[in-house]
A and B are shown apart, each in its own frame.
Chain A
Amino acid sequence: MSKFEFPKSIASRPVWGTLEVRSGEHHLMIAEAEGAEAVIDIATPDLMAKAHLIYIPKGTDFSDKLQALNPAQFYEGPSYAAALPRIRRVLEDAHMGLQVYLTGTEGMMGQAMNEVMAVGLPHTAIQTEHRGSVARRMQCVHCKGVTEDVEVDPFVCAHCGLNLFVRDHYSRRLAAYQGVRVDAEDHGNVPVPKGIYE
């Protein structure tokens, strides 16, 4: 699957990279949905022998292919939320030098990055690669609720029900983009939603 080229944007918008093999004794890989393909692209027997691979399928089916890479540890979780306690447990024991690979949607990478930073690992130990859905994790600036996997603009806040437009302004702390009421100056005048990058 070809990678999505994000259009040039403002300075707060994250820029994602391309995974590459790094040397190190321990490797933590979190692959969400099509992110599995990014892991497959860089996998070597030596790397996978030292890797703890966490896979969140989100409707994809890369389980067999990933297990065939023979990672030192493999876990398949039904959602990021379900995988989170395990991710935290792994990070709790992490030593300096742990290499982290995050690949999948922006929402997952942003949240996982915060978990890694929270235990004191340097940001230079984290690599990212966007794969799959271009949906965004959105914070409603009004009610503060976070709506996951937003694909269209405007969208309805899952918490307060306001129609929000999708900004490019991004908070790393919240791992979310900002949503602002689209019809604040003309109540009820909500444009027809279209894809975020259409």
Chain B
Amino acid sequence: MTIQFNDESFRDDYTFHNSEWAIKRFPFPFHEDSYMYSVNMEQHRGGPKGSVYEMRFDVDEHYVSEMKDRAIVLDQDPLRCQSLPHMTLAGWDLLELIMVSKSEDYPDLFELHRIGNKWRWINKPLGIDHSFTFMDETTLPYGPMEYITRQAQGDFAVLDQRDEMLWMDAGMVTTQADWSLDFDIGMNFFEWHAPVPKAHEMGIFKRALKFLLNIQQGAPARRLNWTMTVNPLLDTSPENYHKWGIQKTTLTPENIAHKQHLRVELQTFFRLPRSNALVFPIRCYLCSFQDLMTVPKWGRRLHRVVRDLPVELATYKGFIDNRPMMLDYLSQFDDGLPTSPGVWPDLETEPPLSK
């Protein structure tokens, strides 16, 4: 299909919006009426047609505006994109992976022409037509990782693998859920996850690491993670928390429907061929409460999940203070009926709200 790209903002006047198409394909993260941490990995080998899981790197109506927002963040703070010196090869691997995937998956939007090391990359949505020499950094305006991730939605953590461990040694991080690449760069898997409550004791990270170390070329994996964000703000970075933190207190019963957003990360994992690094794209999807409530099943379920979430998790995810107001709103959309298993909206089969 041809995508109509939105002209919208993720800051100041917040004109971000989801079309009906985008709402229906929103990666709702709760497969049942409750939530607890789990490794929840699955193969990333496509998914239902039109879903965010179908392509290797999903491109949607927010693409052009998200890339503009990323450019603003990088202008203000270049430390959001960093690569330790030994990670340049992994950057080329990533550039190749994204260019090949996008040109194959979206041939109407992206083209890649290769004759030996002479490559020509055409990105129609962003108006780029660039010829360069593969593996020659002097032919690109940025390092390879920065160049391609300025043209790809989502954050990218590029992890080196050595000593049976993963190391956060490069990344492009401008839409993060409150972690700092500048602080965490160089850390190992357990160190950068250290602030996450409960999951260490549950053995989550040990199991996840074991899984990730064994990801093979051509067999990527994926999982979902989620949090809550007031306003459709992509840049919820710790760097700017002293500016955006106050926005959490602007929520009222009158504005919560359009101001409160469920923020879902589609996390994927690809082995890179030359460097043996692992790339970890973290793609952020935002959906307002009022848009989510147009799907009766999601309305019922979101209320139950938010209501029953352990205090520790609601605190870590940063919405403990707003939870009572969220529940007041969400309870209107929970009529107590059972919900069908799985994440899909099931609009044809689930009953409408009977309240």
Contacts and interface: CB of A to CB of B under 8 A. Distances in A.
Given A11-B193, A142-B239, A178-B180, 19 more contacts: A12-B190, A12-B192, A139-B183, A141-B180, A141-B239, A142-B238, A142-B240, A162-B242, A168-B194, A169-B183, A171-B183, A173-B185, A173-B187, A181-B242, A184-B241, A184-B246, A185-B245, A185-B248, A186-B246
Contacts of A186: 246, 249
Contacts of B239: 141-142
Contacts of A185: 245-246, 248-249, 321
Nearest to B79: A144
14 contacts: A10-B200, A11-B191, A11-B200, A12-B190, A12-B195, A141-B183, A141-B241, A142-B242, A169-B183, A171-B184, A171-B187, A172-B187, A173-B187, A186-B246
Chain B interface size, under 10 / 10 to 19 / 20 to 34 / 35 or more: 20 to 34
A162 B242 CA distance: 9
A65 interface: no
Interface in B186-210: 186-187, 190-195, 200
Give the contact-size bracket for chain A. Answer: 20 to 34
* Max count, chain A CB within 10 A of own CB: residue among B182, B200, B242: B242
Nearest to B77: A144
A167 interface: yes
Interface string A157-191: 00000100001110111100010110011110000
A11 B194 contact: yes
A154 to B, nearest CB: 13
Contact of B190 (A11, A171, A180): A11
A169 B79 CA distance: 19
A44 to B, nearest CB: 34
Interface string B222-260: 000000000000000011111001101100000000000
A88 interface: no
Interface in A1-16: 10-13
A174 B82 CA distance: 14
Given A141-B241, A178-B180, A169 B195 contact: yes
B159 to A, nearest CB: 15
Nearest to B182: A144
Interface of A: 10-13, 139, 141-142, 144, 162, 167-169, 171-174, 178, 180-181, 184-187
Contacts of B192: 12
Contacts of B241: 141-142, 180-181, 184
A139 B184 CA distance: 12
B187 A187 contact: no
A169 B186 contact: no
Q: Give the top 10 A-B pairs by smallest Cβ distance, nearest first.
A: A184-B245, A12-B194, A10-B194, A181-B242, A11-B194, A12-B191, A173-B186, A11-B190, A185-B245, A141-B238
A139 to B, nearest CB: 7
B194 A169 contact: yes
Contacts of A144: 79, 182
Contacts of A187: 246
A12 B186 CA distance: 12
Given A171-B183, A185-B249, A13 B242 contact: no
A172 B187 CA distance: 8
A12 B79 contact: no
A139 B182 CA distance: 11
A125 B115 CA distance: 50
A180 B241 CA distance: 8
Contacts of A169: 183, 194-195
A173 B238 CA distance: 18
B183 A178 contact: yes
B229 to A, nearest CB: 13
A168 B182 CA distance: 16
A162 B241 CA distance: 12
Nearest to A173: B186
Contact of B183 (A168, A174, A181): A174
B150 to A, nearest CB: 22
Nearest to A167: B195
Nearest to B318: A185
A172 B186 contact: yes
Nearest to A176: B183
A174 B182 CA distance: 9
A27 B190 CA distance: 32
A10 to B, nearest CB: 4
Among B182, B191, B321, find the residue whose CB has the most chain A CB atoms closer than 10 A.
Answer: B191
